[in-house]
Amino acid sequence: MPAYKRSGKFYKILAAVDGSQPSLNAAAEAIDLAKKYNGKLFGLFVVSPDIRFGYLDENSLHELPPDLRLIVSNIITAGEGYLKTIRKKALRKSIKFESKVLLGKGSVVRTIVEFAEENEIDLIVMGTIGITGFKRLMLGSTASGVVTHAHCPVLLVR
> pLDDT digits over 134-155, tens only?
444 445 789 999 999 999 999 9
Supply the CATH number for residue 31's domain: 3.40.50.620
Closest CA to 96 of 14, 41, 27, 36: 41
Q: For the whole prediction, is pTM greater than 0.75?
A: yes
Residue 49: predicted pLDDT: 78
pLDDT one-digit tens code per residue, 84-118: 999 999 999 999 999 999 988 788 999 999 999 99
Structural domain containing residue 89: 3-157
How many structural domains does the chain have? 1
Helix residue ranges per DSSP H, 61-151 = 66-92, 108-118, 141-149
Distance CA 19, CA 59 (A): 24
Lowest mean pLDDT across 3-12, 15-24, 35-44, 54-63: 54-63
